[in-house]
A and B are shown apart, each in its own frame.
Chain A
Amino acid sequence: MENQDLDRKEILNGLIEVLKTVRTIDPARLEGITEETDFMTDMDTPSTELINIAAKVEQKFGIEFEDEDIDELGSKVKDIINLIIKAKERANS
Chain B
Amino acid sequence: MAKKLTDEQIADQFKKAIDTNLIGQLPRNWMLHGASKRYVDKYLYHQPNVGIVASYTPTATDVKDHFNLFRGVDQIEAFAQASIVSCATFLECRKLNVIPGDLGKLFVPAFISVGQVYFHSYLEKGQTFINIGIIKFYKWRQMVCDGRLYKIPKGFDLKEYFKDYNDTRLLAYDVPKEFILVAELFDITGRGIKKEMFEKIQ
CB closest chain-B residue, reference A65: B140
Give chain A residues whose Cβ lies under 8 Å from the Cβ of B26: none
Does B141 have its Cβ within 8 Å of any Cβ on chain A? yes
Minimum CB–CB distance from B89 to chain A (whole Å) comes to 15
Among B140, B189, B194, B197, which residue has its beta carbon within 8 angstroms of that of A48?
Answer: B189
Number of A-B contacts (CB under 8 A): 22
User: Are B141 and A48 in contact, CB atoms less than 8 angstroms apart?
Assistant: no
Q: Which residue of A lies closest to B194 (CB)?
A: A71
Q: Is A70 an interface residue (CB 8 A)?
A: yes
A48 and B194 alpha carbons, distance in the complex (Å): 17
- Count of interface residues, chain A, beta-carbon cutoff 8 Å: 11
Q: Write the chain A residue with the least CB distance to B95.
A: A67
**Bound Cα distance A51, B141 (Å):** 11
CB within 8 Å for A55 and B139 given contacts A48-B113, A48-B189: yes
Taking CB atoms and an 8 Å cut-off, the chain B residues in 144-202 that contact chain A are 189, 193-194, 197
Tell me which residues across on chain B come within 8 A of A55, comparing CB atoms: 137, 139
B140, B193, B194, B197: the one contacting A51 at CB < 8 Å is B140
Query: What residues of chain B lie closer than 8 Å to A54, measured between beta carbons?
Result: 140
Q: Find chain A residues with CB under 8 A from B60 CB.
A: none
The residue on B at minimum CB distance from A51 is B142
Considering only CB atoms, which chain B residue lies closest to A55 in the complex? Answer: B139
Q: Mark A26-63, 1 if CB is under 8 A from B, else 0.
A: 00000000000000000000111001001100000000
Q: State whether A67 touches B141 (Cβ < 8 A).
A: yes
B140 touches A70 (CB 8 A): yes
Contacts of B137 in A (CB 8 A): 51, 55
Residues of B within 8 A of A70 (CB): 140, 142
**Chain A residues near B140 (CB, 8 Å)?**
51, 54, 65, 67, 69-71
- Give CA–CA (A67, B193) in the complex, Å: 10
Residues of B contacting A48 in the complex (Cβ-Cβ under 8 angstroms):
112-113, 189
- Least CB separation from A54: chain B residue: B140
> Binary interface profile of A, 56-84, with partner B (CB < 8 Å = 1, else 0)?
00000000010101110000000000000
Known: A48-B112, A71-B140, A71-B194. 8 other contacts (CB 8 A): A46-B113, A47-B112, A48-B113, A51-B137, A51-B142, A67-B140, A70-B142, A71-B193
Can you list 22 contacts pairing A with B, beta carbon distance less than 8 Å? A46-B113, A47-B112, A48-B112, A48-B113, A48-B189, A51-B137, A51-B139, A51-B140, A51-B142, A54-B140, A55-B137, A55-B139, A65-B140, A67-B140, A67-B141, A69-B140, A70-B140, A70-B142, A71-B140, A71-B193, A71-B194, A71-B197
